Amino acid sequence: MRRGERGCYGVWSCPGRARSLSGNPDPQWVPLMPDSSHALAGVSNMTPPPPVHVAIIMDGNRRWAQARGQPVAFGHKAGADAARRAIEAAGNAGVRWLTLFAFSSENWQRPSDEVQELTTLLRFYLNHEVKSLAREGVRLRVIGDRMRFGEDTRRLIDRAEEATAHNTALNLNVALSYGARAEIIAAARSLAAAVARGEIAPEEIDEAAFTRSLTTAGMPDPDLIIRTSGEQRLSNFLLWQAAYAEFIFLPVLWPDFDAAQFQAALHSFASRERRYGARFP
């Protein structure tokens, strides 16, 4: 990220400002094929088994709107539509867990009018999308510091989680006011307090105990993390959970992300050999 810029992503948030897509792509990017087939290089057309958990850093709303001479809110609305397409694509592909980075803890530093637009859009979708998610068997959960939102927004989040709690077709996690470093610090403090109360001995703290103290407790780690807009960083997203995730960086701006690109990313994932640090003959 260039000096003075702040990262922001996704459905309801301000995207990062990557390089223009009009020039030649960085050779380290994972590009789409020029024949518009949305296939990734070196990947066959066979349908691979999907990863269990896909996480997406949704980036590019602002630049998408600016390229069209539209206000930033126009890009966020288009980003929300792209999120709906990603949810449908994940369900159709057999992905069981999908995590969308929608609003980072750093996004609160944005101008107050933009934050207001984003939270208004969030409330709109919590009011209007939950019934659709429930019909489609999607379970919605929010990870992040929801206490930073107003009481009305928190009530809508609680209501949405309750309304979809028994669904099993797709587990949808939306990261709102989320920051991985804050999550890790909170987990460490929780375990330290448990030690002070005599509930656990220090030597009993291991990776499993730490994982149970995170906001993602009970969820599988992401197998694949996708980031749009060409940026190649995690931006304080799922730092602990991403230890062995595969990464795909796409130059497409988030509002242009579609089901074909999602499926192409799954094909690329299937072509990779995951060793988890082990070495095989």
Residue 50 DSSP symbol? P
Q: Which two tokens stand for residue 252?
A: 């497409």
Angstrom distance (rounded) from CA 171 to CA 164: 10
CA pseudo-torsion sign 69, 74, 76, 77: negative
Residue 86 is which amino acid?
A
Distances in whole angstroms, Cα of residue 196 to Cα of each of 189, 191, 211, 214, 238: 10, 9, 19, 19, 27
Contact 6, 106 (CB under 8 A): yes
Q: Which residues contact 124 (CB under 8 A, 6 or more apart)?
A: none
Pairing of strands 97-104, 138-143: unpaired
**Helices and strands, number each (H, E), in the chain:** 8, 6
Distances in whole angstroms, Cα of residue 240 to Cα of each of 175, 186, 220, 226, 244: 15, 13, 12, 16, 10
Cα 236 off chain centre by: 11
**Of 35, 81, 107, 206, which one is the catalytic site residue?**
107
Q: Is 61 a catalytic residue?
A: no
CA pseudo-torsion sign 214, 218, 220, 222: negative
Q: Is 256 a catalytic residue?
A: no
Residue 192 is which amino acid?
A
**Of 59, 171, 173, 223, which one is the catalytic site residue?**
59
Active site residues: 59, 107
